[in-house]
Every structure is written in structure tokens, then in C-alpha cells.
A and B are shown apart, each in its own frame.
Chain A
């Protein structure tokens, strides 16, 4: 009964607190506060008012608001995943080498249970990305894990920087070159897709300038694709690029230099350790797996020291999931990078907090526990880098969205009234008849020849 009431209240909340995302007040008492940016504070209280951290200190009194006793617990900023594909209904518009105009923010799915599961792993924000089928994929969306909302709009992290997915190497080559015999069939072709896109966007911008200044009489044809690429050139949109090999990484930095683009995060970047000084010099960021590689030929060469080498070379580095499973234990992933590469606790935790925040352009708002920042918090039993760490509470904007003491079996918020009630495994089998190991190629049907009519 309790379950139903809890779920019903979630649904009602979303019905009646319409429009703006819900914020809350909460006092977290006597925890070991890992601020990330201002050291560790023992026996300290954190007060969140209207969704923002309003006070950090000892013996805070906030009157009659929700209070969590964090004595013996670790209070850290909500974990941020700079690369995921949860909570979206489409990942790849794999029909053209350049689909800059598409935006996974159009396909948000607030009912994806993986949001709740990510919360259970302390993750409060994820970067929902387009896939890597195209050299220029689509625009991505940074979401807050406000589990329980029904309106996709309420999942968005309003005001977060706009980002776009690029992809190097075999994925765009296979999807377009191999399947359709069009550019790009080679790594050289991938480079040409970028250069063409930037040239087209420049020409497009000029056409509109000419029209607005009265030089031409007829407004140019509207082109959302060129307009989006122009947004990269003007610095409004940051590139997140799927990449493995060092040579290609250098290639893209050369292309970007030619067009004056200086904002980029390389994703996966498995050979990043080979070009770490070059990445640092360019000011590029890196978002990596802790110890996952060799899942295809172009990514056979990597190392579990990647994150550490990049970090020690001064590259802002994060550890991401790219997976609805890995997203539930990013703190373990960070701990692995520490185990191999001998990072300090703070360096390791930065990989999943402030560094991904920097890469998403939201580090002024989240990623550390500081007064004025948003009230996104994860509270762990045992140190988050310990193998014994278990997340207890996950708080988003001052609202408890996960509480391990109140974690009913059925947390779905969207029920199909015609569903058969199956065993979980059967359901999964039905959904993914084929292997989705590479989330970046989701929705690309070419390698799944039995795809139904």
C-alpha cells in the first residue's frame, strides 16, 4: 500500500507542480562533507533552500524542514556523467553523415527507469548524447535526474550549455561508406565532412548577413543544419567528439584550429594518453572509460592508466558510462582509475563531479559543494571510493529523488495498460533481440539485417 501511495504522490506532484522543476529545502546534518573544491569538512551540516546550497557549517538550525542525519556518512556532490544515452527515445539519425540539426532533447523520455537506477548510484546529472553513426551527429541534452516528472521539459537542465556530438573513425565510415558507398568511407572522408560543414555554415551566415544589410532582397533558405554548425563557430555550442585513435584526435584539433573553434571534449579518447600534452596545450577536455577497450579493432590499444596520465598532464578529464549499467557505479569506476594511476582521492572524485561539469559548461552551478551552487547531493555509507560504498540518498535541487530506505520494487511511472506481466529477462530479450553493447550505434539498423518491416 505504501508503494502505491508513494507512486501516486509522485504522479500527483508532477500533475500539479507544472512547468517549473520542483526545488526543495533540506538540512543534511553532521556528515563528512567532500566539497571537491574546498577540501573535506568533518561533522558539517549542509543546508539547501529552494534547491540551492545556502549554508555550510557546524550546528546549523533551519527550523522545521526535512532533515537527514548524515552522521558517519559521506556527503558529496551529485555525480555527473558526461556521456550517456539514457532517457532518450532516439540516439542516431543515421541517414546522413551530418545531422547537426537533430537534437536528442526532442526525444527525452522521463519515464525511462534507468533514470531512477542512475540515481541509485548517486548520479544527479547526465549528458544525454546523440550516437556516433554520423561524423556530425546531433545536439545533446544535459538532463537532471528528476525522477517522477511526467513532462520531458522538466528533465532538462535549463540554461545548460548547448553541446553537439561529433564522431571519428569506424562508426561513421561503416554507416555511410560501407553501407551506402558515400563519403565518409575513410578517415580522410570524415575530416572532409567536418570541413564541408564549417564552410557551408560560414557561407550560410554570410548569406543572412547580406540579406539583413539589404545587399540581397530575398531571405535565404532557412537551414537548421547550417545554423547549428554556425553555433559551433560562434562558440555557443560545444563539441563532444567520439574518438579513439591519436592520429584522428590530432586531425580534429587541426581542423578546429583552422576554424577558430576552441571548445571540445573528446569522448572515449582511448589513445588520449599518447597525445595528452597536445590535448592539454589545445585546451581540449577528455572523457574516458576507466578500463574498457578492445571491443573493436580501432580501440584495441588503450590502458587503465588513461585517466591518470591525462590528469597528470593537465587535461580536464572525466570518467563516463556510455551505458545504463555502468552509470550506476561511476564511483567504482573512479576508484579504479585511482587504483591503477595512483590519483589522490580528490583527483579521483573530480573525475565524476567537477570535471564533467566543466566539460558540460555547468561547473558554475554544480559539481562541488559550495554555497550558491545547486542542491545536488549524493550521500554514501563508506567512502565513495571504497569498494564497500553504498549510496543512501540522492538529492536533486534539494528534493530527495532516491532514498535507499524507501526504495520499493516497482518504481515505474509509466504503465502500459496492455502489458503482459513478464519475467524481467524475457522483457529484455524482447526489447534487445540483438546486442546493444555499443550504445553509440543504437538505432542504426544496418548491422541488424533481420530488422522487422
Chain B
């Protein structure tokens, strides 16, 4: 190896020894070490001290009094796994009530570890938001598969996998057209599967000691995959976004007795006490409900008189008020969990990593302490995932999973400057913050209706994008005529238009980023979907305003 002409920005892994010099060290949510140095060797934190002399092979990073935290841990998502290519054909089955397991959405034996690809852009975007480890699971229906713990670093899939079989992932989603197709089918099927996994486990144990006069245990890969759940070597991660799903997940835990982690929880408050009593762990979603921006549709209320009348509608006002209160309680539930002393982590399933900080700051605004927020990003998920002995804090001997922020992380203006994932260094470009709320001017040529086509392998989608002269963008898919979704975060920059759309697909909330370049009567660009990668989009003008 030649050390002569290395550009450290391109080849950061030239040494496995780093000294982070002069950094505020937040060892754990409750232990702030103050200014000091961190020595990293062979992927581990070798030493944390006030002053460390750099070893000869160390690259010294002058941190200039930045802030070092244990890098974050994502409780559960689909990070690193490609979205299945297009729509899978549903094979025609003779008896929909007895479809093969894979058709029925029952594939706990599918390993996320074998589906992870180091090339997935989701790994990078998670890392750039401060995460060093994801717990990732396959997508699907009732039992999509076995989750894996992966390091969010470069490299081959095999290098990334820290733990191949970390969990069983379950959702209350039925398979369309075959059993189980509804929530009642899923719950009944789950009881049946679980008890048979227990039965198979017992049978295997008996067969080991005495085969005389005993049939051999049958081979059933789905049941076999569930056995570690029945003997508590693994936990069930059940997606339970809303209170009803939480209550249902707790009911099944109570009946069957496994370890449960409630996952992608969007609203828990009504079930708080029951969660506490149950001993289940909880992973809050990092996404929050969309908040309406004011005066967006003001162009619609043309007449001032009418507008005033509308504003004074007491019924509407009362409804708006309750909506606002509910929104507030979504934002304050993290604080409620803290108050009830229920440790929780975060799940980034379907969420945009770049929004994590923004949303956690909203929770902090509602009373969540910074310590609890940091614990939810580090020590709590480490405990829930059973890796607190190797990561979650900046302690000597633990994995060198470190996030370095220009200012205290929970300061609004802070930015992540470096990430270390198992000792590999990543340097981020810290951008100058753009002025907020500047949507830009709408070029006259853009106003009107535009057809679009999105190229998704096997599942092309088309529809219409409406751009108003006030800069409001609405999107209407051809599959749902009349159902227009309004875009958010709209930015016009001459012929370049950026916006995001939140769509619900199979009960899953997806955030879609549009990046369109207009030229004359046509446009080209990309859409990207959190976790699933990006797809080309193109279109042409259908009509201009009269």
C-alpha cells in the first residue's frame, strides 16, 4: 500500500486507527464526559480520555470542539433491502382457504440478512442521519420474515450483517384473496401457527431422547423459523401503528406469552398503561402526522366575504380544534412514555431518515427531555435488540459507532460532520442552511396540468400533476381518479421543481420525493421513495389555464 498520494476524502479507510481530537464527548444520555479525545482502533473504541497522544499510524481528526455521540440505532425498518421488483403475480390457487404459505404471506423463514445489499441508497441516507445500525426486516404481509441487524457501512452484504437472525417480524395485514385475508384471519392463523411451532419444538425435543414408536418431526420451514420465538431466544416485532393494533398485539402476547416489541408505533397514548403492564417493548415511529400549512389554498377562496364567512363556521372551527389537539397528543406521547418510565426506541419504517431530527425536536418541544430522546436513539434500542454490551454508548471496548455533530445534536442548527461505523470514517458535507420557507417563484410556463409516467419495473404508474399559479401542486393518479393529493415542501427554482408527496400504499405510508426538470411542454426527472430507491418520471403538458 502506498501512502504517498492519498486524498483522504476519497479513500478514508487507509488506516483503522483514528484519533478524534478535542471533542465534547457525550458517552451516554446520562454521562457527559466533557472535552476530550477518542482513540479508535480496529473498529473499536480503544480509549476515551482528556488527552491522548496520537499513535504513529493514527489519522488525527481535529474536531474543533464538536460533539461526539454514540451513533444511533434504528429499531426496525427495511433499510438495505430493495423494494420487490414490481407487483408480484398472485398465483391462482385452487383453494384460497389453503394457499401455500408463501402465497398467504407467511414466510418467517425468509432472511433479511440474505436480502440486504450494500448498494442500497437507504443505507447511506440512514448513515447520513446519524445511524450506524439498522434492524432490518423483509416487507410483505402477515409474516414477511426474519429480521437482521446490519451495520450501515459500505461493503458487501455479508460484511454488513451483524446478526443474521435477530427477530420475527409480523404485521396485521392479510393477503388479498387468500387465507388469512383480514385482521380476524391473521389473528386466528397466528394462534394456530404459534401453537404448532411450540408443538413441533416439543416433538423435536422428545424425538432427540426417544425415537421408539414415535413418528419423526415433520419438516416445516415456517414453523421451524418460529421456534426461537417460542423459547424466547428471539422477540416478535409486531407492527402496531395505532391503538387498536397495539391492543391486539398485547392480547396475543398475553395469550401466547412470547417477548413482544411493538413496532412503528404512531400513537400509543390510549394504550399506555396496558403497554406498561404487559412488559412489551416499544419502538415509536419517527414520522409524525402531516401538519397543514396556513393559507395554502387561499387562491380558492376568491371572494373575501366568503372567506370570512368560512372562517367563522363554528362547526368547522370545533373540528379543527380537536384535530389540532390530537396532533399535539401525537407529538407529546414520547413525553408521556418518558413520564411513565417506559423506555422506548425509534423505528424508521417508512420514515424519511432526514426528518428524524426535525420530528424529534417537535417531541422535545412537547416536553420530551433531551436525555430521553438520546436514549431512544442509542441505549434503549441497543437494549431492546440485545446489543447493549457492544454498542449504544461511547465506552471503551465498544464498537466505534460514533456520530460527530458540529453543535449539540438537538440544537436546531447542528449538522452531522462525521460518522464512524465500526471504525470506518465517513465525512459529510455540511451545507450552509438555505433560507427557510422560500418556495420560489412559479414560472408562468409551468402553470397547468401535466401528464406523468413513472417507470417502476413491472408496475408503471401514470396520472396528472396540477400546478397552480399560486404554487400549489396536486397529484392525481390514474388509478384513483378524483383523488388529488396535495404536495408538500414545494420548491420552484426556474425550470426545476421539487416537492414531496405522502401516499398510503397497502396501509403503509410512503414519502415520495419529486425532482422534475421542465423544458418547454415536457419534463423529465426522478421520484425517490424512502427506502426503496428512485425511479425515472417523465411527462408532458395537457392543458394551460384559460
A residues engaging B (CB < 8 A)?
3-4, 7, 11, 14-16, 18, 89-90, 92-99, 101-104, 106-107, 109, 111, 130, 138, 150-153, 180, 182, 217-219, 221-225, 409-410, 412, 414-419, 421, 443, 445, 452-453
Q: Flag if B214 contacts A151 (CB, 8 Å).
A: no
Whether A417 contacts B289 in the complex (CB less than 8 A), given A95-B179, A151-B247, comes out as yes
Cα-based distance from A241 to B356 in the complex (angstroms):
52
Q: Whole-angstrom distance from the CB of A64 to the nearest CB of chain B?
A: 30
**Per-residue interface assignment for chain B, residues 177 to 191, with 1 indicating a CB less than 8 Å from any chain A CB and 0 otherwise:** 111111111011001
Check if B213 is an interface residue, CB within 8 A of chain A: yes
Interface residues of A: mostly helix, strand, loop or mixed?
A: loop
- Tell me, yes or no, whether B97 is within 8 Å of chain A by CB: yes
Which residues of the other chain, A, contact B185 by a CB distance below 8 angstroms? Answer: 90, 93, 95, 99, 102
Bitwise interface map of B from 307 to 347 toward A, beta carbon under 8 Å scored 1, else 0: 00000000110111111011100100000000000000000
A109 touches B244 (CB 8 A): yes
- Nearest chain A CB to B492 CB, angstrom units: 25
| Smallest CB-CB A-B distances: 9 pairs | A96-B97, A150-B270, A417-B289, A90-B182, A95-B179, A415-B326, A102-B184, A93-B185, A222-B195
Stretch at the interface among B60-68, B196-204, B412-420, B466-474: B196-204
Give B residues with C-beta under 8 Å from A. 87, 94-98, 176-185, 187-188, 191-192, 195-196, 199, 202-203, 206, 213-215, 243-244, 247-248, 251, 269-274, 289-290, 315-316, 318-323, 325-327, 330, 479-480
Q: How many A-B pairs with Cβ below 8 Å?
A: 147
Name the CB-closest residue of B to A137: B184
Q: Which of B96, B97, B195, B203 counts the most A-chain CB atoms under 10 A from its CB?
A: B97
Write the chain A residue with the least CB distance to B181: A95
State the CA gap A415–B269 with chains docked (Å).
Answer: 13
* Residues on the B chain within 8 Å of A414, using CB: 243
Question: What's the nearest-Cβ distance from chain A to residue B427, in Å?
Answer: 38
Q: Which residues of B contact A93 (CB under 8 A)?
A: 179-182, 184-185, 188
* B183 with A224: CB separation less than 8 A: no
| B188–A101 CB distance below 8 A | yes
CA A261 – CA B304 in complex, angstroms?
A: 72
Q: Which of B202, B251, B289, B325 contacts A106 (CB 8 A)?
A: B251
**Inter-chain contact B323/A89, CB cutoff 8 Å:** no
Q: How far in angstroms is the closest Cβ of chain A from B87?
A: 8
Min C-beta distance of A383 to chain B, whole Å:
35
Is A419 a contact of B323 with CB atoms below 8 Å? yes
The answer to whether A218 touches B215, judged by C-beta atoms less than 8 angstroms apart, is yes
Give Cα A218–Cα B184 distance, bound, in whole angstroms.
30
The answer on a CB contact under 8 Å between B191 and A224 is yes
CB pair A90–B199 under 8 Å, yes or no, is no
Task: Give Cα distance in the complex from A15 to B270, angstroms.
Answer: 6
Q: What's the Cα separation between A421 and B279 when bound, in Å?
A: 38
Are B177 and A95 in contact (CB-based, < 8 A)?
Answer: yes
A421 to chain B: which residues have CB within 8 Å?
A: 316, 319-320, 323
From A11, A130, A453, residue with most partner B Cβ within 10 Å: A453
**Complex CA–CA separation, A152 to B247 (angstroms):** 7
8 extra interface residue pairs, beta carbon distance < 8 Å, beyond A99-B179, A152-B244: A90-B182, A90-B185, A95-B178, A130-B184, A152-B248, A218-B206, A224-B192, A410-B322
Residues in B neighbouring A16, C-beta threshold 8 A: 273
